Amino acid sequence: MDEVTGWLFDVYSHPERGVVLWVIADSGERLRLRMELPVTIYLAGDFKLLRAAWIFLTGKAELARTKRRDLFLGERDVMQVTLTENNDLIHGLQSQFPSLDYYDADVPITLRFIAHTGVCLLGRCRFMLEREQVQFIQALDSPWQLSPEQIPLRAMELSPNSDPAFRTPTRLKVKTGRGEYFINMEPERPFLISLQADLRHFDPDLILTDHGDGWLMPKLADIEINRDPDRATQTRKANSYFAYGQTIHRGAQSHLFGRWHIDRKNAMMFNEYGLEGVMEQSRVTGIGVQEMARKSPGAGITAMQMLTAMKTGVMIPLHKQQAEGSKTLAGLIRADKGGLIYQPTLGVHRDVAQIDFASMYPSIMVYHNVSPETLGKNDPKQGLIPQTLSPLLKKRLKLKELLSDLDERDCQVKVLKQRAAALKWLLVVCFGYLGYKNARFGKIESHEAVTAISRELMLQAKEAAEELGFEVLHMYVDSLFVQKEGLKEKQDFEPLLHAITEQTKIPIMMEGVYRWICFPPCKRDARISVPNRYFGVLNNGEVKYRGIEARRRDVPFWVKKIQLEVLNCLAKAKSLDEVVDYLPEVTEMVSQAKRDLRNGHVPLKELVVAQSLSRTVEGYTSPSPAARAAMQLQATGREVAPGQFMRFVFVRGQERVRVWELGVDEKIIDVKRYCAILDRAVSGLVNVFEKTEAGLGI
């Protein structure tokens, strides 16, 4: 037998039996290997139905009777079905016997492979081969390593010279590690021949595209874009769906075999944590890189729970089986309160520390062993959810510690931040999936238990702060804003951090100390503050803000830019008392911005507004600006769908908005409306200081 060591690059089903593995060997070779992999499902239910299913499957699969554990029901007598080849037998079985309970029936092949072998995607492995057949595989590293050895990828970037949704591209920019160049897209045949030659010569592991899913990949159907010659490009249609209170549009997808394809314009959170973050999520979740780039972090948490279940002998139900328990109205009101929110003290405050619980909800699940099967039981055994989250939580905290010790100019910082952000998003959604109606291992009572514990911990933290003489100005789910006369530096608050950690047993960290921080009034009622809106300046001069226009996607870049310039101008004050001295400078700054707009000196692209469609165009009784923009696109023959973002500019006249991609004449820009948006954004920052200067005293 031959021995090979290298990185496990990709795994997918073989058309006939087992799986195909792609390995980047230490020698630099890209190897296509095969491996046998048993696919086993379990059936439970009425004995007569099971008997009929046994007869139906005889000769088509290996059958056995056994006992397996259901997370909620405990040990069950089940029929074990091991498929002898890759086919659609499972779907035929489900349609024939829909009343049976099915387990492990829709587990992705990569997760089966990982659970069976103990290796991880993108990890280093040792393979023992007979020709191309894997006889033995050994993991040489773990997905929980803090600094895994980087996989040596060859990447090719392809991007058109215009957005194909609005203008037919004429050239394609090709970028590799050897440089960049352009290929003319017409005539089509020479273009395809040239690109095919480049693919063969460079042989990329990763093709990064702009608009590749819905536009470029269909154009390349006649050339060999896959590295695996036996597979065609896998395509998926576009769709819109409703989740977390908003309509989301997912564009068409094109997946490759033997190499990856990621469309940066169609990836779920690529702008948030980039390729390094996607690969980090792929390592810990077991979902392939192409899939993970296009899926939400919630899909990653589900995959991790499946892996934990398979490794611990728990069957994975095809559908959620546990309904919410019945409650009285009074019981529901007591139980379903969510996180603790303390109304902030209105106005501007000096020398305020912000302290945050580190990954509060996941930490509660792990420390308090909150899992659907442990709820209401004094069971010392760690539940499935804590088992899943514990290594993830530890890894993110270690990455954060590593980052805190590095200089911002260190070349590792960017990559580590992307990896930490990717893990953070997995931890953020794990709480929601604990109560998600379709989660296999979710239970709303567990979700409510976590928020109940969090409220108690926040109250304990508040009491600890007040016992040490601090005033608590604001609390928001997992953050506290505290103040004490004479304390201005981070080290002054260390005793408080220690006291809260001792009391709650949950890690807490210092976010920073503000020279000043403002909790502005509500726009509808100036007598009350808004819990999720604040802005301030840390001692190091860094500005921090939440809930203001600069954080919103539907505000023009020009407005956000001026608002941040105003905030940075106020941040030049060395103390709160000096802030009012900069208000005249702010007034002149805003006046100059308006003059620039009126004189046509503001680039039109900075005035673009992006808003998503919440429904079909026909569903609007009073069209929103986004709906008006969608109507303009439809009038040109283009298709629009709920969840898509419309980009437009406010204009004068009956149109009111003009789709950006259809061209905008600067002479019809609605200057008055943009000035009003700017005034609203800036007044939210400076009005509180003007009032303070007049009467409250600072």
Position 175 scores a pLDDT of 95
Asked whether residue 692 is assigned to any structural domain, the reply reads yes
| Chain centroid to CA 464 | 34
Asked whether residue 347 is assigned to any structural domain, the reply reads yes
Same domain, 522 and 587: no
Q: Phi then psi for 693, rounded to 5 degrees?
A: -65, -35
Band of the pLDDT at 390, cuts 50, 70, 90? very high
Same domain, 517 and 569: no
Average pLDDT, the chain: 90
Band of the pLDDT at 694, cuts 50, 70, 90? very low
> How many CB atoms are located within 10 Å of the residue 67 CB?
10
The set of residues, in sequence order, having a beta carbon less than 8 Å from that of 189 and lying 6+ positions away, is: none
Asked whether residue 292 is assigned to any structural domain, the reply reads no
> How many CB atoms are located within 10 Å of the residue 330 CB?
8
Question: Parallel, antiparallel, or unpaired: how do β-strands 645-650 and 234-236 relate?
Answer: unpaired
Higher pLDDT, 241 or 41: 41
The residues facing 70 across adjacent strands are: 74
Same domain, 516 and 659: no
pLDDT value at 331 more than 70: no
Question: Parallel, antiparallel, or unpaired: how do β-strands 645-650 and 657-659 relate?
Answer: antiparallel
Asked whether residue 481 is assigned to any structural domain, the reply reads yes
Asked whether residue 620 is assigned to any structural domain, the reply reads yes
Largest interatomic CA distance in the chain: 88
Residue pair 208/262 in contact (Cβ under 8 Å)? The answer is yes
Which H or E element spans position 478? none
DSSP class of 578: G
In 123-148, which positions are buried (b, 16+ CB within 10 angstroms) versus exposed (e)?
Answer: bbbebebeeeebeebebebebeeeeb
Domain residues for the domain of 480 are 339-372+443-547
| Residues in the chain, overall count | 698
DSSP class of 238: -
CATH number at residue 343: 3.90.1600.10
Asked whether residue 503 is assigned to any structural domain, the reply reads yes
Same domain, 609 and 682: yes
Same domain, 537 and 629: no
pLDDT value at 169 more than 70: yes
Same domain, 353 and 447: yes
Same domain, 478 and 351: yes
pLDDT value at 698 more than 60: no
Tens-place pLDDT, residues 218-262 = 999 889 999 999 999 998 887 776 665 667 777 889 999 999 999
CATH number at residue 670: 1.10.132.60
Q: What is the DSSP string of 125-165?
A: EEEEEETTEEEEEEESS-TT-SSPPPP---EEEEEESS-TT
Same domain, 518 and 484: yes
pLDDT value at 514 more than 90: yes
pLDDT value at 51 more than 50: yes
Same domain, 348 and 479: yes
In 484-573, the DSSP E strands lie at 508-519, 534-538, 543-546
Q: Phi then psi for 42, rounded to 5 degrees?
A: -130, 140
- Judge residue 481's burial from the number of C-beta atoms within 10 Å of its C-beta, 0-12 exposed, 13-18 middle, 19 or more buried: buried
Tens-place pLDDT, residues 459-507 = 999 999 999 999 999 999 999 999 999 999 999 999 999 999 999 989 8
Domain count, the chain: 2
Of the residues 547, 572, 591, which one is the last residue of a structural domain?
547
Of the residues 530, 547, 564, which one is the last residue of a structural domain?
547
End-to-end distance of the chain based on CA atoms, in angstroms?
80
Asked whether residue 512 is assigned to any structural domain, the reply reads yes
Structure tokens, 124: 């280093």
Same domain, 582 and 475: no
Same domain, 354 and 497: yes
Nearest-5° Cα angle at 612, 611 to 613: 125
> Which of 187, 241, 184 is closest to 643 using CA atoms?
241
Band of the pLDDT at 608, cuts 50, 70, 90? very high
Of the residues 499, 529, 547, which one is the last residue of a structural domain?
547
Counting DSSP H helices and E strands in the chain, the numbers are 18, 28
Higher pLDDT, 222 or 275: 275
Asked whether residue 457 is assigned to any structural domain, the reply reads yes
Same domain, 660 and 588: yes
Band of the pLDDT at 333, cuts 50, 70, 90? low
Tens-place pLDDT, residues 650-689 = 999 888 999 988 888 888 999 999 999 999 999 989 988 8
Position 321 scores a pLDDT of 66
